[in-house]
Structure 1
Amino acid sequence: MHRIDVHHHLIPSAYRERLAAHGIAAAGGRELPDWSPEGSLEVMDRAGIATAILSVSTPGTGFLADPGEASRLARDLNDETASLIAAHPDRFGFFATLPMPDVDAAASEARRALDELHADGVVLLANARGTYLGEAGQEQLFSVLDERRATVFIHPADLPAPAVTGIPPFAADFLLDTTRAAYLLVSNGIRRRYPNIRFILSHAGGFVPYASHRMAVAIAGESGRSPLDVLDDFSSFYFDTALSASSAALPSLLAFADPGHVLFGSDWPFAPEAAVQYFAAGLDTYTAHDADLGRRIERENALALFPRLGTATAIATPSLPNRIRGAVTRTVMRGVTRLAAGA
């Protein structure tokens, strides 16, 4: 097992109960899946994942209208997750939850989580209660993150608009949500003013790699900057492979992104194990003739961001049934992806 998974969610029981009390049983159009630390570890063993960096997915704290409640929930989530990491330091890291759109509270919790809890970074939703990451008024938070050379994992949320009947938000709207945040971070100069922040975009960056030239021309027209400079800002992002390691998406992503900025991601448990294995097999198939690229995406690029993960002790060999099940699943999924690539 060698993979480092930067896109792996947790759903603590207390958080699930808090969501249920507000009538929330789904996220992104998907019913909240079952989750436990033991379940994560079993899937990780079968998928060859040595370490997963945990994060709370949408809606984060954004379902709470009261800023004080949101801040307390973020604090509770981070304390609980830090305790879990302390119990499994070789298998888990975590991105701390911040109570956006309250910038002051988010900056304060970022300081606490990074300085005291030793979080590996923070997770920020592309939009929180309709306020997009990168909008005006967020300088205090970005200053705190830049001073600490923090890694920021950007995860999509439901768009601040009604969903379209027949299109679950996770299938298409999530990609637009991430793209909107990336656009604002570039167009409003955040990438330039805070160069020490390492931003990871979920799901291969949404539409960023494929629409980057179009967006660069738009921003250049508004700002007078060179489109090439704008493209440099877009390509400075990091990108995970969650639900995106296909024969169609990977060539486009790697034609745009720095190969050192592409990271393995699974999106478990919102992506079921079959999907995790399918896209992991897609990555294996794509990198079969470039072992160095495969090692970089699956582990080495993440170690450059999170060097503490390289000091983990040897991981115990999974149980024989887990190894057999994982091997069979990977073999089947690789066959499926090869057929799809050749179709």
Structure 2
Amino acid sequence: MLQFHVASKTRRIDVHHHYFPANLNKASSNEKVGWRTPAENLPWNPEISLKFMDAASIDVAILSFPAIASGFVGQENRNQARERNRGMAEICRVYKGRFGFFATLPFLDDIKGALLADGIALSSSYGEGMNATYVGDAYYDPIFAELDKRAATVFLHGAQTPSSTPHPHSFLGVPIIEVPNETFKAAAHLVVTGRKRKYPHARIILAHMGGSTPFLAARVAVLSRHMGCALSREEILEDFKSFYYETALSAHETTLSALETFVSSKRILFGTDFPAASSEMVGWYTKNLEDFHATDTGKLTKIMGTNALDLFPRLQTDISINQLYNKL
């Protein structure tokens, strides 16, 4: 296992940490999209994550189940979402102070059944193929209006949506090359439709540093404006900068340099993508993040944990977490 570089005063909150319930056949579902969840992490249970978290000096992991990106409106979807949320809530109860969770919503077209929680996980789009609808669509306005009213924290993750052409190689499966692009497409959709600006109090975290967002935001600013977007170039860029960006499987000198010039360090959060990724992979990206900020430990401390406390006030009141952060 790659050793983690652990700074004694740097506390860590992992905002991208997946929950795989016992009835999820993750190995089988992976075959469809071209990804191998590390065998040592399956079948997953909380103890696997805790062992990893202790080795990586991660104090708290915010669990999320991959969003229900396809399905039908109805009670079955609601029951499935409720079952997953109860499972994550039970883990938080048993391992108090070590886990939080983003609630899983029913298939998002079920507007009535979706308005359930403050901290939620969203997929970039809902539905399949040509029938898929991105989250910036007007149809989902009631959901975003509620999230905005609650100043909810939202974890936006790219859907595992195949491209119109096959992925080019078995080494370049959907999670590697398509999922980050889906995150960017959803973010861009929210911006150019004006919904990011319309619902400014919903605090949206983009998975994997927003995919290609830091690199393509300026392209959207000019070309989408040309195509009729009502926002000015400056407004489009401003709205892209109002997202939060987490580092899971993305931290490298090149990407971190781009992100640092694009958004305030207050909007950068630490993430791992465990258990979908191995501890060795996570360790490589974490070392990159630490090395990049080696001369600015204050900024590293914010990214690793204290920025997340602003989004998850419950952690502020947990006695065990307060004891950890009082040492900063």
TM-score between the two structures when normalised by the length of structure 1: 0.82
- The answer on 1:164 being equivalent to 2:167 is yes
- 5+ residue gaps, structure 1, are 115-120, 316-343
Note the C-alpha offset of 1:262.
0.2
In the other structure, the counterpart of 2:77 is 70
Note the C-alpha offset of 1:225.
2.6
CA distance in 2, matches of 1:188, 1:202: 20
Higher relative contact order (CA 8 A, sep 6+): 2
- The answer on 1:291 being equivalent to 2:294 is no
CA contact (8 A) 1:95 1:153 kept: yes
Alignment of 1:297-336 (within 5 A): 297-314=303-320
In the other structure, the counterpart of 2:103 is 96
Deviations 1:234-264 (A, max 9, x none): 0000000001111111000111012100000
CA contact (8 A) 2:72 2:107 kept: no
Going from structure 1 to structure 2, the CA distance change for 1:27 and 1:195 (only over 3 Å counts) comes to farther
Residues paired across the two proteins, number:
300
Note the C-alpha offset of 1:63.
4.9
In the other structure, the counterpart of 2:14 is 5
CA distance in 1, matches of 2:94, 2:32: 28
CA contact (8 A) 1:153 1:202 kept: yes
CA distance in 2, matches of 1:110, 1:243: 30
SS at match of 1:213: helix
- The answer on 1:181 being equivalent to 2:190 is no
Deviations 1:207-257 (A, max 9, x none): 111111111112322124320111000000000000111111100011101
1:37 maps to a residue whose letter is: P
SS at match of 1:199: strand
Alignment of 1:1-343 (within 5 A): 2-14=11-23, 16-17=24-25, 24-26=29-31, 28-32=33-37, 33-34=41-42, 35-57=44-66, 60-65=67-72, 67-105=74-112, 108-111=113-116, 113-114=117-118, 121-129=119-127, 130-159=132-161, 161-162=163-164, 163-166=166-169, 167-221=172-226, 222-314=228-320
Going from structure 1 to structure 2, the CA distance change for 1:289 and 1:171 (only over 3 Å counts) comes to same
CA contact (8 A) 1:103 1:138 kept: no
Note the C-alpha offset of 1:81.
1.1
CA distance in 2, matches of 1:266, 1:181: 21
CA contact (8 A) 1:75 1:109 kept: no
Equivalent pairs: percent with the same residue?
A: 37
Note the C-alpha offset of 1:270.
0.9
CA contact (8 A) 1:110 1:122 kept: no
**Superposition RMSD on alpha carbons, in Å?**
1.9
Going from structure 1 to structure 2, the CA distance change for 1:211 and 1:152 (only over 3 Å counts) comes to same
CA distance in 1, matches of 2:201, 2:32: 31
Note the C-alpha offset of 1:103.
4.0
CA distance in 1, matches of 2:75, 2:189: 27
CA distance in 1, matches of 2:179, 2:124: 9
- 5+ residue gaps, structure 2, are 1-9, 322-328
2:178 maps to a residue whose letter is: D
Note the C-alpha offset of 1:67.
3.9
TM-score between the two structures when normalised by the length of structure 2: 0.86
Worse-superposed segment, 83-92 or 256-265: 83-92
CA distance in 2, matches of 1:238, 1:247: 19
